[in-house]
Amino acid sequence: MQAVVRREYGDWRKLSLERVPMPKLSKDQMLVKVEYAAIDASMDHLMQGDPTLVRLMLGLSKPKHIGVGQSFSGTVVDVGDTQGFSVGDKVFGVGRGTFAEFAITKSSWITKVPEGLSMEKAATIPVSGITANDALKLLPPGAERALVIGASGAVGGFLTQLLNQRGIAVTATASPGKSEWVRLAGASKVIGHDGVAKLEHKVFDAIFVLGEPTP
């Protein structure tokens, strides 16, 4: 099969498209045919082995696993010894080395794609969407106003939508080229990153910092 791989730590320039063997399943694993794979911030950190401490798990001098990518949507082709899924199920979630034709996952890492959700959109949810949903737990009771710094990123985009759905007025930061997209996501006010210092922060019930505000 074909897969995007990295033989050493580094940025996107260290990636290559290669033909590699099909993954072999262990007892608790499943095999999926990948339809879409999504990029998230954690993927960039893992590729670069950053922070350095993670290399204790990933491999000190070079990656133990050459595969790239986590978030995906696809079709189950082999359930192995796992329960709850069948061959042919349309699923999305987290896998190992998902920038490939086939990838390994586990039943606890995925769920079935609900009716009405496209496979393309489903692939973007597992890492960024779940992170944004978890961030909602930080909201104080009765929150009405929130500031999202870095709203045009993957997590920020999901978080802005989720806050808006809860009826919370969102002030968001974004670069000029992404301002309209952030408004469409549900922000009631969009400012540039250099405008954060001018805000009266105490008027917000919650402040989420998802990106470094630079001029």
The tens digit of pLDDT for each residue in 110-125 reads 999 999 999 999 999 9
**pLDDT above 90 for 210:** no
**pLDDT above 90 for 197:** no
Quote the pLDDT of residue 76.
98
Chain position carrying tokens 């978890």: 134
Tens of pLDDT, residue by residue over 85-107, are 999 999 999 999 999 999 999 99
**To the nearest whole percent, how much of the chain has pLDDT over 90?**
70
Residues 6+ apart with CB under 8 A from 102: 1, 22, 23, 31, 32, 33, 34, 77
Superfamily of segment(s) 2-123: Medium-chain alcohol dehydrogenases, catalytic domain (3.90.180.10)
The answer to which of 29-43, 122-136, 150-164, 190-204 has the lowest mean pLDDT is: 190-204
pTM confidence score: 0.79
Tens of pLDDT, residue by residue over 17-42, are 999 999 999 889 999 999 999 988 77
Quote the pLDDT of residue 211.
59
Q: Which two tokens stand for residue 111?
A: 């769920």
Compute CA distances 102 → 16, 114, 123, 124, 187, whole Å.
16, 21, 14, 18, 38
Domain locations along the chain:
2-123, 129-209
Work out the pLDDT band at 214, boundaries 50, 70, 90: very low
Amino acid at 206: A
- Centroid of chain to Cα 175: 21
Yes or no: say if 135 and 157 are a contact pair by the CB < 8 Å rule.
no
Q: What span, in angstroms and rounded, lies between the C-alpha atoms of 114 and 29?
A: 22
Tens of pLDDT, residue by residue over 39-80, are 887 788 788 888 888 888 888 889 988 999 999 999 999 999
Quote the pLDDT of residue 45.
79
When the pLDDT of each residue in the chain is averaged and rounded to a whole number, the result is 91
Architecture of domain 129-209: 3-Layer(aba) Sandwich (3.40)
